[in-house]
Amino acid sequence: MPKAFDSEAALIEYVAATPGALGYVSHVSPRDDIKCLGVIK
């Protein structure tokens, strides 16, 4: 079961701190430590 977070900011923090973690957010993070795999328009 995927993890659920109360906010996209919390998800971004989790992905940044967890090797191999993936997450879906509605915007592209400006952080250098997170890789964007694609943008859906």
Q: Print pLDDT tens along the chain (41 aa).
A: 889 999 999 999 999 999 999 998 887 767 888 888 877 66
CA nearest neighbour of 41 among 29, 22, 28, 23: 28
Record the tokens describing residue 11, joined without a space. Answer: 């998800």
Give this prediction's pTM. Answer: 0.74
Give the alpha-carbon dihedral of 22, 28, 32, 37, to 10 degrees. 50
User: What is the Cα–Cα distance from 1 to 9, expressed in whole angstroms?
Assistant: 20
Instruction: Please name the residue that has the structure tokens 């915007």.
Output: 27
